[in-house]
Amino acid sequence: MDETGSRVIVSSGNHCLVADSSGALHRCHPRSRRAPRPVCGDRVDWSADATAGWIDAIRPRTNLIERGDFRGRPRGLAANIDRIVVVIAPQPAPDALLIDRYIVLGEALRIPLLIWCHKQDLAPSTPTGAMHALRTRCERQGIVLMTGSLLSDDGLAHLRTATRHEALILVGQSGVGKSSITQALIPTASRRIGEISATSGQGRHTTSATTWFERPDGGAVVDSPGVRTLRLDHLSASDVDAAYPEIAAATRRCRFNDCRHGHEPACAIRQGLESGEIDAGQWQRWQRLREETGG
Ligand SMILES: Nc1nc2c(ncn2[C@@H]2O[C@H](COP(=O)(O)OP(=O)(O)OP(=O)(O)O)[C@@H](O)[C@H]2O)c(=O)[nH]1
Ligand SMILES: [Mg+2]
Ligand SMILES: [Zn+2]
């Protein structure tokens, strides 16, 4: 049996689950240890013999989202993604550095980003300072920021509309609501999760693997396991700069090319921090991420 144009919906490195054009799932393995590893979202050609299913080819990707593993080596997370949706919520409290990491990743891959502030039913009536700073930044940088809740009347309607026909990946901390959103956008998702557990023999229903779900009206939602951090060692200092245009521009205005932004005269960063033009939290995070990316 030869199948073309099938989709990898879950990958664990040494095997993956492939959905064929009818939606049926097949467990497949790479042909050899040196064969490229398929990732969630890959389109593949595969075939089955008496022993197993095999990945014959990975179709060209429109993009590949990678994050660093525990040693900082890039590892594929998902491919062929139209938009990264960073999910945050009042609880667990947002981590500004983690949000920035996703902004850097999105800029580096040129994948549009949307920040979805979930669980608004739990949000304080006056936004926190951190939320205010995030909102200001998104406005300045043209990052789409939307709010919603599964408990409000319009629920996720505006998320659905704003991302129609797109392949989304939902990312963020554990417990922010990624799987709940997936199930709200894809009514059949929970049935699918049951099928995946049966096929992979894990019998678990928690989000342990990045999983691709087809949307009923086209596109897809990729649910991913919650993270505490996102390593970006494989990106460059200029990737970081692209996510902080105000800071990058200010560093170019410093009088000295090698300004360390400490006590040098005519330092545009220090002036910006003093005037409030540059956000102190953002400045700290830029320094941290520049260090990590070797800049
Ligand atoms: N108050 C409130 N709770 C919500 C909302 N959406 C989801 N939750 C709850 O948030 C908790 C975590 O939701 P999940 O969808 O499992 O979170 P997750 O991001 O998938 O978590 P991981 O899989 O661990 O990364 C669950 O108890 C949900 O019922 C919401 O809009 N409001
Ligand atoms: Mg989940
Ligand atoms: Zn300076």
Quick one: three-class SS letters along 125-165?
CCCCHHHHHHHHHHHHHCCEEEECCCCCCCCCHHHHHHCCC
Which pLDDT band holds residue 147 (cuts at 50, 70, 90)? very high
Pocket of ligand 1 (CB under 6 A): 118-119, 121-122, 149-151, 174-180, 207, 225-226
Of all residues in the chain, the percent with pLDDT exceeding 70 is 95
User: Per-residue pLDDT tens for 76-100?
Assistant: 999 999 999 999 999 999 999 999 9
Per-residue pLDDT at 3: 60
Q: Is 172 known to sit in a ligand binding site?
A: yes
Range of the domain at 284: 237-292
Q: What is the pLDDT of residues 226-238, one digit of tens each?
A: 999 999 999 999 9
pLDDT beyond 70 at 295: no
Instruction: Tell whether residue 155 is among the known ligand binding residues.
Output: no
Specify whether 39 is located in the same domain as 134.
no
Residue 143 lies in a domain: yes
The CATH code of the domain that includes 138 is 3.40.50.300
**Predicted pLDDT of residue 257:** 93
Which protein residue has the closest C-alpha to ligand 1 atom 22?
174
Q: pLDDT value at position 77?
A: 97
For residue 275, say whether it is annotated as part of any ligand binding site. no
Q: Any idea of the CA torsion for 5, 8, 175, 234, to the nearest 10 degrees?
A: -100
CATH number for 259: 1.10.40.50
- The alpha carbon of 171 and the centre of ligand 2 are apart by a number of angstroms equal to 9
Regarding whether 190 and 119 lie in a shared domain, the answer is yes
Instruction: Kindly give the distance from the C-alpha atom of residue 266 to the centroid of ligand 3, in angstroms, as a whole number.
Output: 7
- Tell me, yes or no, whether 241 and 270 share the same domain: yes
What is the best residue among 150, 180, 183, 206 to mutate for testing ligand 1's pocket, by most ligand atoms within 8 Å of CB? 180
- In this prediction, residue 203 has a pLDDT band, given cuts at 50, 70 and 90, of very low
